[in-house]
Amino acid sequence: MNKKYLNKVVNQLVSETIIDGNIVSTTFIPSFSSFFSSSPYTSFSEFVIEVYGLTEEEVKYVWKQYRYIIIMGWKRKEERKRK
């Protein structure tokens, strides 16, 4: 597993993610609020396997890192709102 490459994938995915309140939108998987999205992908793993050529083990690593960064970013944003 090439973590340097996987971390680049994570960073790219994070850069393509928008957090607006409680809604998380991505350019790669449609959110519930983007009904007319043109994305052909229905799952995170399907997307990263097809686009980045990841294995199932690598998908788990990328998902864990991506999810952590997005959750922490959302929490920080919420904390700043309260101040």
pLDDT score of 61 more than 90:
yes
Q: What's the whole-number average pLDDT of the chain? A: 81
CA–CA distance, 49 with 51 (Å, rounded to integer): 6
Structure tokens at 70: 């997005």
Burial 24-50 (b: 16+ CB within 10 A, else e): bbbebbbeeeeeeeeeebeebbebbbe
pLDDT score of 54 more than 70:
yes
Contact 57, 2 (CB under 8 A): no
Ranges assigned E (strand) in 1-82: 17-20, 23-26
18-42 tens-digit pLDDT: 887 777 788 777 654 444 444 555 6
